[in-house]
């Protein structure tokens, strides 16, 4: 009898708890999609857009196929309604609160439940929560979300505005749409110079019905801040609640870290509509947690914080768990000796770190097609190339939770732009209030991620205004007022109040605190003495270091190259396979881009010859990838050399983020990774130029002196006090913590230095320089020089220089400078360590270069999806390029100068394959093969 009573009591209590706790109904999945006149009625998946639904139902072809970005544009001018039915149980209907949570609506939407309007939306980047208690009923219910054309909406908003907000339209080459700046939607969905216009409409994030008792927990945003005294850290935890009634709810808020019982905080709180948030402070003692580090500097430990609210008068306990990490970030902007400006570098956990990386754009025009596994592949490719920072560019989207979580795990820091790019923006009350809600949501959603290092107000808008890109000069003060209202009075106000764990900067590029001193719009935002810089010059010699600015931080630079033939062929037909076909010109959204790529390459190498149009297209693709890889390599090495140099007040570069990492579709672009994940030659070069240790030779401005720099990521590092001259002894701060004479960057204690997991002890090195003739025998240099040195205590230092003259060439066995080149390697040529090469003359002027007979032999399965093979050659072979057509994966290295008779390689497949399939797919090319 007692047992039966206990059982009944327990079941009753569980039912009460089930009733009281938050209950959710996921509305993702199958919906119906109808256009404005009902002529199209199809099934659609949510999350998703009308484009993917139309494609999956065979109303349109693949949107990326050939010219379909234009031929399917009609869909962006129509209206589309997503609808479905859902069930409400009696238990859910009895809950005091029932709300609809829309994680992302793209963009101009009207939401209806059972035929009644429950709300509207006008911002792709906000989360919308609607109280639908009075609209739902027990049994079957209906929901519909009607989307208006974003193109028509933007045009209508622009027309109604009291003055022109430029630019009004995109460049004709982009085949885009106008007035993207008047709608809070991904700006590149109206086109960009590397991407198509697909003005999507749809439910693009999760949509959920939520029923609960007292309150719901909407955000848990932890901020780890450095503590004082016994507390190594103070964890500031912001918790925000949701409710629908007018009552004051009282209960206990408990904060804890999963797996660490000694860290917790509990207190009584009161919640009502005027007081929906609270902040808890959790002190954390020394050694209780581990510090999160960027890739290459230590581990990335992550912790789960649990926030639990227990009401005093009910069982409706709510809980939320989020993952975060402990680290500090600041941007140091300090006086620099012998310079009129300020430094600009990131200090992570108190240490200055040179940021190596690239820029991130949306991985697809249709976000619903992006899987976490695809994101991980691209981001892992960044980590494999030793990158520690990506800039999420401001013309795309605030990325998914999966994106930032993967970056947390991989140690890739994020420079996070707000989603405004290359435009002026309206600043009326409605626009600013809408933007404010966007900023609040995104900061509270994302600030828990240790990977996010900085909030940046926009992409290039400070420079656009200051430099009159869009004809704003006659009304400069009016547009500046709008600029300040949006980025400073609104964005900065929201971000700096909500997030103390990372800095905010007004724009990128910016002069940082100098821009702030000048009223947030600097007279010259491209001043090399301050902040970060974007730099492009397609008329310059991209293979010469002399073309590049000595900047504090290079956050954008790069060159275009075509995606591989394998990638382009998937969305084209044979008639498209020529360099100036209608298709090729249509895919090129950068004005004169196809011509620019060939002109850049022709400065250095002869262009392909031959009568086969398709083969020439393939060869020209190869040439553009060579040019891109060499140009970015030259600038990255220059940036890395300059981190320890100040020349004429410029230099001290502490970041190199090339444009761009990934592609949005199959096209010519600045990306190093093609749409689908295939690596361009540039990505393979990044494996080397972003390696922790590199050897960087170059020819000085006198055109006869070769200087060789040894560059290594290390902590601490030091800027020299004055202009560099060949006989200058560079000053550095010793690792034992003793103060150096010129303490430019930072003070680092021995205890702090010991925290760095990857710090190194001094090592002895040998630099070898092989002299090869172009018509010589692989693995048999004419002469080898050796220079021994200890690795220096600064990040970048010259280890040797020598004269490059005709007399020196003849002494090494060359008939002339044009007959030979130099190959550099560190310590051991057999260990795949740092290596590099240098030519005294342009490759097109080199004498004696022979066509190499390169072969791939001895393909073997090593383990899992890893294979080995050997490349052989009978002649010196520049830009050896391997492909495994039809098999997804990457090589250990590619695009290199082959001076050995044979090299063993590895291929890492991303899918199951066999030795036989790989052997059939492998192909190797080198430079002389393109002259037919």
Residues in a beta bridge with 236: 223, 281
Domain 10-209 has CATH 1.10.3660.10: no
Contact call for residues 633 and 533 (beta carbons, < 8 A): no
150-199, pLDDT tens digit by residue?
999 999 999 999 999 999 999 999 999 999 999 999 999 999 999 999 99
DSSP structure string for 291-323: BP--TTSS----EEEEEEEEESSSS--EEEEEE
In the chain, % of residues over pLDDT 90: 88
For the chain, the average pLDDT equals 92
Per-residue pLDDT for 7 more than 80?
no
Per-residue pLDDT for 723 more than 60?
no
Q: What is the pLDDT of residue 337?
A: 86
Instruction: Give alpha helix (H) positions in 47-148.
Output: 50-56, 68-71, 74-77, 90-93
3-state secondary structure of 679: strand
Q: What is the pLDDT of residue 756?
A: 52
How confident is the model over 680-689, as a mean pLDDT? 98
Q: What is the pLDDT of residue 831?
A: 64
Per-residue pLDDT for 16 more than 70?
no
Give the Cα separation of 832 and 826 in Å (integer).
9
- The strand pair at 820-826 and 796-803 is best described as unpaired
Per-residue pLDDT for 644 more than 60?
yes
Q: What is the pLDDT of residue 315?
A: 75
pTM value is 0.93
Domain locations in the chain? 10-209, 214-324, 698-845, 855-930
87-117, pLDDT tens digit by residue?
999 999 999 999 999 999 999 999 999 999 9
> What CATH topology corresponds to 855-930?
Immunoglobulin-like (2.60.40)
The helix (run of H) or strand (run of E) holding residue 377 is helix 372-384
Per-residue pLDDT for 564 more than 70?
yes
Q: How confident is the model at residue 896 (pLDDT cuts 50, 70, 90)?
A: very high
In the chain, % of residues over pLDDT 70: 92
Q: How confident is the model at residue 725 (pLDDT cuts 50, 70, 90)?
A: very low
Give the Cα separation of 199 and 263 in Å (integer).
48
Q: How confident is the model at residue 715 (pLDDT cuts 50, 70, 90)?
A: low
* Residue of 556, 600, 637, 883 marked catalytic: 556
List Cβ neighbours of 555 (8 Å cut-off, separation of 6 or more): 359, 391, 415, 508, 509, 532, 533, 534, 655, 657
How confident is the model over 411-425, as a mean pLDDT? 99
Give the Cα separation of 372 and 484 in Å (integer).
37
b/e string for 512-545 if b means 16 or more Cβ within 10 A? bbbbbeeebbbeebbbbbbbbbbbeebeeebbbb
Q: What is the pLDDT of residue 230?
A: 83
List Cβ neighbours of 790 (8 Å cut-off, separation of 6 or more): 762, 763, 764, 765
Q: What is the pLDDT of residue 755?
A: 53
Nearest Cα residue to 890 out of 528, 380, 520? 380
Tokens 């025009």: give the residue: 365
How confident is the model over 482-508, as a mean pLDDT? 99
DSSP structure string for 95-117: SSEEEEEES-EESSEEEEETTEE
**Lowest-pLDDT range of 466-475, 652-661, 737-746:** 737-746
Task: Decide: residue 168, CB within 10 A, 0-12 exposed, 13-18 middle, 19+ buried.
Answer: middle
Kindly state the tokens that stand for 809.
């060439």
* Residue of 399, 460, 462, 637 marked catalytic: 460
The end-to-end CA distance of the chain, in Å, is 96
Catalytic-residue membership of 460: yes
Catalytic-residue membership of 916: no
Count Cβ atoms below 10 Å from residue 344 Cβ, excluding itself.
Answer: 29
Same-fold call for 214-324 versus 855-930: yes
DSSP structure string for 546-562: GGS---S-EEEE---EE
Give the Cα separation of 665 and 448 in Å (integer).
31
Kindly state the tokens that stand for 216.
């719901």
Nearest Cα residue to 563 out of 658, 668, 661, 659? 668
**Lowest-pLDDT range of 241-255, 690-704, 780-794:** 780-794
Q: What is the pLDDT of residue 754?
A: 47
- The values of phi and psi at residue 374, to 5°, are -70, -45
Alpha carbons within 13 A on the beta-carbon side of 228: 0
The region, left, alpha or beta by phi > 0 then psi within -120 to 50, assigned to residue 709 is beta
Q: What is the pLDDT of residue 74?
A: 99
Contact call for residues 472 and 465 (beta carbons, < 8 A): yes
726-783, pLDDT tens digit by residue?
333 222 222 222 222 223 333 344 445 445 545 556 678 999 999 999 999 999 999 9
Q: What is the pLDDT of residue 793?
A: 73
Kindly state the tokens that stand for 561.
């190259």
Give the Cα separation of 624 and 593 in Å (integer).
11
Kindly state the tokens that stand for 191.
């086109």
836-881, pLDDT tens digit by residue?
999 999 999 999 999 999 999 999 999 999 999 999 999 999 999 9
C-alpha R_g of the chain: 30
Per-residue pLDDT for 497 more than 90?
yes
76: Cα separation from own chain's centroid: 28
**Distances from the Cα of 45 to the Cα of 115, 363, 368, angstroms:** 21, 19, 9
437-449, pLDDT tens digit by residue?
999 999 999 999 9
Give the Cα separation of 374 and 896 in Å (integer).
27
- The strand pair at 355-360 and 389-392 is best described as parallel
How confident is the model over 463-474, as a mean pLDDT? 98
Give the Cα separation of 765 and 790 in Å (integer).
6
Nearest Cα residue to 729 out of 738, 737, 740? 740
Nearest Cα residue to 348 out of 368, 334, 330? 330
Q: What is the pLDDT of residue 721?
A: 40
Q: What is the pLDDT of residue 792?
A: 76
Count Cβ atoms below 10 Å from residue 492 Cβ, excluding itself.
Answer: 20
Kindly state the tokens that stand for 148.
């208006």
Give the Cα separation of 595 and 597 in Å (integer).
6
**Distances from the Cα of 452 to the Cα of 496, 758, 771, angstroms:** 15, 21, 46
Alpha carbons within 13 A on the beta-carbon side of 783: 10
Contact call for residues 470 and 298 (beta carbons, < 8 A): no
Q: What is the pLDDT of residue 915?
A: 98
Instruction: Give alpha helix (H) positions in 484-592.
Output: 493-498, 513-517, 565-569, 582-587
Give the Cα separation of 775 and 876 in Å (integer).
7
Q: What is the pLDDT of residue 547?
A: 97
The answer to whether the peptide bond before residue 509 is cis (omega within 30 degrees of 0) is yes
Give the Cα separation of 162 and 824 in Å (integer).
63
Contact call for residues 291 and 301 (beta carbons, < 8 A): yes
Q: Which position has the higher pLDDT, 795 or 926?
A: 926
How many degrees, rounded to 5, is the angle at CA 404 between CA 399 and CA 410? 140
Question: What architecture (CATH level 2) is domain 214-324?
Answer: Sandwich (2.60)
């Amino acid at each position: 009898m007692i047992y039966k009573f206990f059982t009944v009591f327990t079941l009753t209590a569980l039912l009460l708890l089930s009733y009281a706790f938050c209950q959710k109904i996921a509305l993702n999945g199958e919906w119906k999609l109808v256009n404005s006149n009902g002529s199209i009625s199809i099934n659609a998946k949510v999350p998703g857009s009308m484009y993917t639904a139309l494609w999956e139902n065979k109303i349109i072809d693949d949107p990326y196929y050939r010219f379909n970005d234009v031929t399917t544009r009609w869909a962006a001018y129509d209206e589309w309604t997503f609808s479905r039915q859902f069930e409400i149980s009696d238990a859910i209907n009895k809950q005091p609160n029932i709300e609809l949570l829309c994680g992302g609506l793209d963009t101009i939407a009207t939401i209806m439940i059972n035929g009644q309007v429950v709300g509207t939306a006008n911002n792709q980047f906000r989360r919308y929560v609607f109280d639908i208690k009075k609209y739902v009923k027990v049994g079957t219910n209906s929901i519909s979300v009607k989307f208006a054309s974003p193109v028509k909406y933007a045009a209508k908003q622009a027309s109604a505005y009291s003055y022109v907000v430029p630019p009004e339209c995109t460049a004709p080459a982009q085949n885009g749409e106008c007035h993207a700046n008047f709608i809070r939607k991904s700006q590149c969905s109206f086109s960009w110079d590397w991407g198509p216009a697909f003005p999507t409409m749809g439910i693009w994030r999760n949509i959920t019905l939520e029923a609960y008792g007292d309150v719901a927990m909407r955000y848990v945003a932890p901020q780890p801040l450095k503590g004082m005294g016994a507390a190594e850290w103070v964890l500031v935890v912001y918790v925000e609640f949701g409710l629908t009634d007018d009552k004051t709810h009282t209960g206990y808020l408990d904060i804890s870290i999963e797996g660490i019982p000694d860290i917790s905080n509990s207190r009584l709180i009161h919640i009502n509509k005027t007081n929906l948030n609270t902040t808890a402070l959790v002190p954390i003692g020394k050694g209780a947690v581990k510090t999160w580090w960027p890739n290459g500097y230590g581990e990335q430990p992550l912790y789960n914080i649990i926030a639990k609210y227990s009401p005093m008068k009910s069982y409706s306990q709510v809980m939320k768990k989020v993952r975060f990490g402990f680290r500090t970030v600041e941007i140091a902007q300090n006086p620099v000796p012998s310079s009129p400006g300020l430094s600009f570098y990131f200090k992570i956990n108190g240490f200055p770190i040179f940021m190596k990386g690239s820029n991130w754009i949306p991985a697809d025009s249709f976000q619903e097609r992006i899987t976490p596994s695809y994101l991980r592949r691209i981001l892992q490719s960044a980590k494999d190339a030793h990158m520690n920072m990506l800039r999420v560019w401001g013309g795309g989207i605030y990325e998914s939770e999966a994106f930032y979580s993967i970056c947390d795990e991989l140690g890739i820091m994020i420079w996070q732009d707000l989603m405004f790019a290359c435009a002026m923006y309206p600043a009326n009350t409605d626009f600013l209030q809408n933007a404010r809600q966007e900023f609040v949501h995104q900061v509270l959603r994302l600030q828990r991620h240790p990977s996010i290092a900085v909030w940046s107000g926009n992409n290039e808008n400070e420079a656009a205004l200051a430099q009159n890109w869009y004809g704003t000069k006659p009304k400069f003060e009016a547009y500046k007022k709008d600029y300040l209202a949006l980025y400073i009075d609104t964005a900065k106000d929201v971000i700096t109040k909500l997030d103390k764990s990372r800095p905010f900067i007004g724009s990128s590029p910016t002069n940082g605190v100098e821009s702030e001193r000048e009223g947030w719009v600097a007279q010259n935002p491209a001043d090399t003495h301050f902040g970060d810089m974007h730099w492009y010059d397609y008329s310059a010699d991209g293979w010469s270091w002399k073309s590049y600015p000595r900047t504090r931080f290079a956050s954008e630079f790069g060159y275009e190259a075509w995606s591989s033939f394998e990638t382009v062929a998937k969305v084209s037909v044979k008639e498209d396979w020529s360099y100036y076909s209608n298709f090729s010109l249509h895919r090129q959204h950068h004005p004169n881009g196809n011509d620019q790529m060939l002109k850049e390459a022709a400065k250095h190498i002869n262009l392909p010859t031959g009568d086969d149009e398709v083969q020439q297209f393939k060869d020209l693709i190869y040439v553009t990838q060579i040019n891109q890889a060499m140009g970015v390599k030259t600038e990255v090495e220059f940036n890395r050399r300059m981190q320890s140099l100040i020349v004429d007040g410029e230099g001290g570069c502490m970041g190199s983020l090339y444009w761009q990492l990934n592609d949005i579709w199959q096209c010519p672009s600045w990306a190093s990774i093609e749409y689908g994940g295939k690596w361009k030659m540039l990505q393979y070069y990044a494996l080397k130029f972003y390696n922790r240790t590199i050897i960087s030779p170059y020819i000085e401005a006198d055109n006869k002196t070769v200087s060789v720099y040894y560059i290594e990521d290390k902590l601490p590092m030091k800027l020299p006090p004055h202009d560099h001259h060949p006989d200058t002894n560079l000053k550095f701060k010793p690792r034992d913590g003793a103060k150096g004479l010129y303490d430019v960057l930072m003070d680092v204690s021995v205890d702090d230095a010991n925290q760095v997991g990857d710090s190194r002890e001094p090592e002895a090195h040998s630099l070898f320089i092989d002299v090869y003739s172009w018509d010589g025998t692989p693995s048999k240099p004419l002469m080898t020089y050796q220079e021994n040195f200890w690795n220096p205590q600064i990040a970048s230092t010259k280890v040797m220089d020598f004269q490059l003259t005709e007399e020196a060439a003849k002494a090494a066995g060359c008939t002339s400078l044009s007959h030979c080149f130099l190959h550099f390697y560190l310590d051991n040529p057999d260990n795949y360590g740092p290596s590099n090469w240098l030519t005294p003359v342009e490759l097109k002027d080199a004498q004696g270069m022979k066509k190499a007979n390169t072969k791939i032999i001895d393909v073997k399965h090593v383990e899992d999806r890893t294979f080995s093979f050997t490349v052989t050659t009978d002649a010196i072979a520049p830009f050896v390029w391997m492909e495994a057509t039809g098999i997804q994966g990457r090589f250990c290295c590619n695009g290199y100068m082959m001076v050995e008779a044979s090299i063993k390689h590895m291929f890492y497949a991303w899918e199951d394959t066999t030795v036989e399939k790989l052997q059939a797919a492998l192909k190797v090319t080198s430079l002389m093969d393109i002259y037919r």
